C-alpha cells in the first residue's frame, strides 16, 4: 500500500503540539483545539472544495493570536513566504474590493499577487475581520464556503490548499472586565459578544472558534523569560557571546508587565534591556563583538555588563 501523506509532513504534524506549546504560553486550552484541527485537515480528513480548515481567533490584544498563525504556518509549510497577512482595517470602504481583486480586466489585484507569491498554498490571515466593509465580508464568506476567489481578470483562484484564519478583538472587553476565571463562562460570553458584533452567518462559517485567554501574571512571567532567551539568541547570532544572570530576567519581567497589553510590552522590554547594553559596548569598542555577562545591579536598579 502507498502512503497517503509524505513522511516529512507526518513528522511535522507530530511535533506541531510541542512546537506551539514551547512558543505560546498560557493558551493551553486553545492549542488543544487548534492542533487536532490542523492535524486532521492536513491528513486530508476534511470537506472538499473548502479551505484546508478555517479558524476564527478571538481574544484581547497581544495574547498570541497572530503569533500562533505565524508559527503553525512556518512549521507545517516549512516557509515564511506561506503566510499571507491582510489587515482588514485597510478594507473599510466598498471600493477597496478593487484593491483585492484588481480594478480592471488586466489587473490581478493584491489577492492575485499574494496567491502567486505563496504559490497556491499556505495560510491566509485576515486581521481585524470585523472592520471589513460588508462587501468584503461577502467575498470572505465565499472563500470560507467554496475556497474560491474571482479576480478582475475573470480568473478564479482555487484556495483549497490554504488555511484561513481570521482574528478579532471583538468581545475582548467582556473578557478583560470579567471577574470570572471559569473558562466555560468566558468562552460562552465571548461567543455571545461575537455573535452580536459579527453578521450571524460569519461566525458559523468557521470550522473552529478559538477563544484566547487573557494572559495572567504567571503566564506573563514565563513569557518574559522566554522572550529574554529569544532576544539573547538573536543578539548572539550576530556574533556576540553574551550570557545573562537570572536577575536580568526578573528585571525584564518587572519592566514589561502589563495586564492590559499582554505579551507585547514584555517582548519589547526584553529586547530594549539587552539592546541598550550591547549597543553601548559595541559603540565603545569600535564595533567588535561583545563578550561578557549581563548582571542586574540592585543599588542602581540597572543592568550592566561584566566583561570576562
Ligand atoms: N501567549 C504568548 N506566548 C508567548 N509570546 C506571546 C504570546 N502572546 C503574544 N506573544 C508575543 O507578543 C507579540 C504579539 O503577539 P500577537 O501578535 O500574537 O498578538 P495578537 O493576539 O495577535 O494581538 P492583536 O489583537 O493586537 O493583533 C508576538 O510577537 C509574540 O511573540
Ligand atoms: Mg494580531
Give the model confidence (pLDDT) of 87-134 as tens digits: 999 999 988 999 999 999 999 999 999 999 999 999 999 999 988 888
Q: Give me the pLDDT at residue 151, please.
A: 95
* Residue 228 to residue 272: CA distance in whole angstroms: 10
- What pLDDT was estimated at residue 200? 72
Considering every ligand atom shown, identify the ligand nearest to the alpha carbon of residue 172 and give its number.
Answer: 1
Q: Do the beta carbons of residue 43 and residue 95 sit within 8 Å? A: no
Ligand positioned closest to the Cα atom of 125: 2
Average the pLDDT over each of 53-57, 217-221, 226-230, 303-307 and give the range with the smallest value. Answer: 303-307
Average pLDDT for residues 289-306, to the nearest whole number? 95
Q: Supply 58's cell numbers.
A: 478571538
- Tens of pLDDT, residues 122-154: 999 999 998 888 888 888 889 999 999 999 999
66 lines ligand 1 (CB under 6 A): yes
Residue 302 CA, ligand 2 centroid: distance in Å:
32
Ligand 2 centroid – CA 31 distance (Å): 16
Tell me the mean pLDDT in the region 215-229. 97
Average pLDDT of the chain, as a whole number: 93
Q: Residue 59's CB: how many other CB atoms inside 10 A?
A: 26
Residue 308 confidence (pLDDT): 66
Distance 291 CA to ligand 2 centre (A): 36
pLDDT at residue 122, rounded to an integer: 97
In this prediction, residues 213-233 reach a mean pLDDT of: 97
- Cα separation, 172 vs 176, in Å, equals 6
Cα-to-centroid distance, 181 and ligand 1 (Å): 21
What domains can you pick out in the chain, each with its CATH number?
7-211 (3.40.50.300), 217-306 (1.10.8.60)
* Mean pLDDT confidence for 166-172: 87
pLDDT at residue 176 greater than cutoff 70:
yes
User: Within a 10 A sphere around the Cβ of 238, how many other Cβ atoms?
Assistant: 10
- Specify the ligand 1 atom closest to the Cα of 168: 25
Q: pLDDT > 70: what percent of the chain?
A: 100
* Secondary structure of 15-59 as H, E, C letters: HHHHHHHHHCCCCHHHHHHHHHHHHHHHCCCCCCCCCCCEEEEEC
Distance from residue 54's CA to the centre of ligand 1 (Å): 20
- Whether ligand 1 lies within 6 angstroms of the CB of 267 is answered as yes
Q: Which three cell numbers stand for residue 27?
A: 493558551
What is the chain's Cα-based Rg?
22
Lowest mean pLDDT among 93-107, 173-187, 271-285: 173-187
Q: What is the mean pLDDT of residues 17-33?
A: 98
Instruction: Assess whether the C-beta atom of 264 lies below 6 angstroms from ligand 1.
Output: yes
Amino acid at each position: 500500500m502507498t502512503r497517503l501523506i509524505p513522511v516529512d509532513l507526518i513528522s511535522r504534524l507530530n511535533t506541531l503540539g510541542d512546537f506551539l506549546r514551547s512558543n505560546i504560553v498560557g493558551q493551553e486550552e486553545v492549542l488543544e483545539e487548534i492542533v487536532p484541527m490542523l492535524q486532521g485537515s492536513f491528513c486530508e480528513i476534511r470537506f472538499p472544495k473548502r479551505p484546508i480548515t478555517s479558524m476564527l481567533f478571538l481574544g484581547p490584544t497581544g495574547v498570541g493570536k497572530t503569533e500562533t498563525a505565524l508559527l503553525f504556518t512556518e512549521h507545517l509549510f516549512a516557509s515564511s513566504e506561506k503566510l499571507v497577512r491582510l489587515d482588514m482595517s485597510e478594507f473599510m470602504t466598498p471600493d477597496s474590493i478593487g484593491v483585492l481583486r484588481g480594478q480592471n480586466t488586466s489587473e490581478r489585484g493584491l489577492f492575485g499577487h499574494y496567491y502567486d507569491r505563496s504559490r497556491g498554498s499556505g495560510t491566509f490571515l485576515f486581521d481585524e475581520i470585523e472592520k471589513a466593509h460588508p462587501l468584503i465580508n461577502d467575498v470572505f464568506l465565499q472563500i470560507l464556503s467554496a475556497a474560491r476567489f474571482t479576480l478582475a481578470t475573470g480568473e478564479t483562484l482555487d484556495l483549497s490548499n490554504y488555511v484561513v484564519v481570521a482574528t478579532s478583538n471583538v468581545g475582548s472587553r467582556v473578557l478583560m472586565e470579567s471577574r470570572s476565571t471559569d473558562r466555560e463562562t468566558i468562552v460562552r460570553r465571548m461567543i455571545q459578544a461575537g455573535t452580536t458584533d459579527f453578521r450571524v452567518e460569519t461566525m458559523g462559517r468557521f470550522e473552529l472558534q478559538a477563544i484566547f485567554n487573557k494572559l495572567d501574571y504567571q503566564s506573563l512571567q514565563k513569557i518574559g523569560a522566554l522572550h529574554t532567551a529569544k532576544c539573547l539568541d538573536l543578539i548572539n547570532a550576530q556574533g556576540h557571546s553574551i550570557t545573562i544572570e537570572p536577575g536580568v530576567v526578573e528585571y525584564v519581567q518587572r519592566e514589561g508587565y502589563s495586564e492590559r497589553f499582554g505579551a507585547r510590552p514584555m517582548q519589547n522590554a526584553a529586547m530594549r534591556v539587552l539592546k541598550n547594553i550591547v549597543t553601548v559596548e559595541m559603540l565603545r569598542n569600535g564595533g567588535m563583538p561583545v563578550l561578557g555577562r549581563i548582571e542586574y545591579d540592585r543599588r542602581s536598579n540597572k543592568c550592566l555588563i561584566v566583561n570576562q
